[in-house]
Amino acid sequence: MFPSVPCAPQNISTNLLCGTNDLMVSWVPSAEPLNYSVTAVPLAANNSSLTCHTNSGNCSLSGLRCGTTYNVSVKAASGSCSGPCSSPRTVQTGNEDVDGKRIIMSINYSVTAVAPCGTNSLMASWNTSLGATAYTATVTGPNGFSDTCSSSNLTCSVSGLQCATRYNVTVTSRDGHCTSAPGRTALTTGPCDPVNVTSDLHCGSDMATVSWVAAAGAVAYTVVAEDGSSQNYISCRSSSASCQLNRLQCGKVYNLTVVAEDGACNTPCSPSIQNSTQICGTDSSSLSWNSMADAIGYTVNATASSGHKVSCTSATATCALTDLLCSETYTATITARGSQCDSAPGPSTNITTGECDRRLRNHHLFLPPGVNTSSYTTLSVAGAGYQDSCQTTNTSCAFQNLPCDLDFNITVQAQGEHCTSVPSVSESLETVPCTPQNVSATLGCFNHSALVTWVGSPSAVGYNVTVTGQGGHTHHCHTNTSNCQVPDIHCGETHGITVTAFSQTCTGNLSAVYSFRAGAGRLTLTQPKFKLLYYCPEKITILNLFSYNFLQVFVLPVTSLRLQLVRTALSLGLQ
């Protein structure tokens, strides 16, 4: 009788032991005594398969690689006959420990932690863990202190620490199935601040002894005495709780600062900006401060009210901020960099940048509202050498008594507290044409017209001539030359003549009135009136009155004394 082939095992289950990546595989065993083999085949071709053998309903696979996916199957065998494999089960092993090693090597952790000097916090960091989706850092310390932070990145920070205190840091990684074994490190925070600082001035000398209560964790101290009036300072360094300052100036008041340091932290004092100078015509500001003991460099950070940020770094006590926005106020602080640590930011100072360039609108100075500006300057320069300016704190500026016939350029500059902006783009303008001069008129005797002439204006493109008679009647003519013929002049009247020049944009002033009297012209009397004034033997004197208020007196020989002859003579004499 031949043995039958075993069936494939059923109800396969897997249980991954997190922290070891051992896999326990279970199934329902057959009633017949059979041998079973469990095989875990990695999906990645560069990994090896694992196998275990048993005659029971479970088997444990060890040595699975972290962060690897396996297909796990079970088959039964009876003697030399092996049955088919069960349906495979997919298993994802746990991720690596945070040190990048396998779990069994987690003692070789690579977790690091640093405590920024002058702060009460620490920053933990670690290597990437294959397959991890999140990390947890736990900080423990004296008196039951414990704090935890979680992160999907490779860093995490914890605050609220005490100075000169040792803390333990553990970091674990996790995925959807497991949490790794922890990686560990420890660190001691920076020294505490010195307290109870006192000074003892050595009378008759330029020395003073400064003492304080020793600070926990400190191995050395730096004392800085700063002159409040001139911002100069004197310093000394000591490994004990006192230090002697030399070369103090009499009559000065000094502010004392004591800074503690240890083997890791040597924080320079926080500097303060002493001077800020706007570099006019640019978008830069030059800053300066006093050098700090133990500082190897400085960083200036400035933030505008609009949120714009700029910074500069320097190894000396001066630095230039560039790319500043115009018409802005920046709040700037400076940080001193030490060999291990940076100081806290020093006192802030405000930097007000230069005014923005202005634009001309409607030939007036135009300034956006709400700009903090002390004064503004408008400059006008003519090609003929004319120059004028006006200043205002408002948004317009007027020029008075500009010369006529003037072509000029107008520009605007904004004046701030520290700087003057660059000039605006110039705009070309011209003033009104000058008033025509030397107006005169010549009467045309036979056509009752007047030829008006004058000296013109260089910028004029035309002229208007107005002739006004005694009765109020007017006559006009227009021309682009310096003369004009005015028709229909009334004879026997006095007329006033004015000439006005105009340009493309403006009309000038009236010229001075030129007066002239038109002649009597060609007159014919049909009803002459005369009166015999007196008679003498030789002559007759006759007064001839006309309706034009024109008086003529004729003296005729007495031999011509015939009324008809007198009328004829008068008539002929006026032709």
Domain end call among 388, 407, 430: 430
Does 492 share its domain with 533?
A: no
Output the six-digit token pair for 220: 């050395």
**Contacts of residue 45, Cβ cutoff 8 Å, sequence gap at least 6:** none
Q: What is the distance between the alpha carbons of residues 92 and 195, in angstroms, rounded to a whole number?
A: 57
Integer Cα distance of 178 and 252 in angstroms: 67
**For 132, which DSSP code?**
-
CA distance linking residue 242 with residue 277, whole number of Å: 39
* Contact status, residue 351 vs residue 279, Cβ threshold 8 Å: no
Which CATH number fits the domain that encloses residue 16?
2.60.40.10
Last residue of a domain, one of 384, 404, 430: 430
pLDDT tens, 72-109? 999 999 888 889 999 999 988 866 655 444 343 333 35
Query: What single DSSP character describes residue 420?
Result: B
Whether residues 418 and 457 share a domain: the answer is: no
The count of structural domains within the chain is 7
Q: Cα separation of 432 and 434, whole Å?
A: 6
Name 516's bridge partners.
495
At 375-405, the pLDDT tens digits run 556 655 556 677 888 877 777 777 777 888 8
Give the C-alpha separation, 26 to 49, whole Å: 18
Three-class SS of 331-352: EEEEEEECCCCECCCCCCEEEE
CA angle in degrees (0–180, nearest 5) for 424-429-435: 155
The helix (H) or strand (E) run that includes residue 363 is none
CA angle 526, 528, 533 (to 5 degrees): 170
- 235, part of any domain: yes
pLDDT in tens, 162-189: 988 999 999 988 876 677 778 899 999 8
| 98 in a structural domain | no
Residues 6+ apart with CB under 8 A from 462: 478, 479, 480, 501, 502
CA 429, CA 399: separation in Å to the nearest integer?
13
- Is there a domain that residue 522 lies in? no
Residue 5 lies in a domain: no
Amino acid at 550: F
Residues 119, 165: one domain? yes
DSSP secondary structure letter of residue 56: S
Per-residue pLDDT of the chain (575 residues; tens, 9 = 90+): 566 788 999 999 988 877 677 889 999 998 888 999 999 999 987 788 999 999 999 999 988 888 789 999 999 998 888 899 999 999 888 666 554 443 433 333 589 998 877 778 899 999 888 778 889 999 999 998 999 999 988 999 999 999 889 999 999 888 766 777 788 999 998 888 899 999 998 887 889 999 999 999 888 888 888 887 666 778 888 989 999 999 888 878 888 988 888 866 665 667 888 888 776 667 888 899 888 877 888 999 999 988 999 999 999 999 999 999 888 899 999 988 876 667 767 888 888 887 676 544 444 434 444 334 445 566 555 566 778 888 777 777 777 778 888 888 888 877 666 666 667 777 888 888 999 999 998 887 667 788 899 999 888 999 999 999 887 888 889 999 999 988 888 887 888 999 999 998 888 888 999 988 876 554 444 444 444 444 444 444 444 443 333 444 444 444 444 444 444 444 443 33
Q: Are residues 40 and 66 in the same domain?
A: yes
Query: 448 and 417 share a domain?
Result: no
The CA distance from 41 to 24, in Å, is 15
Does 216 lie in the same domain as 159? no
Residues 87 and 141 in one domain: no
Strand 112-114, strand 89-92: pairing: unpaired
Identify the domain containing residue 207 by its residue range: 195-261
Q: What is the dihedral of CA 313, 319, 324, 326, to 10 degrees?
A: 170
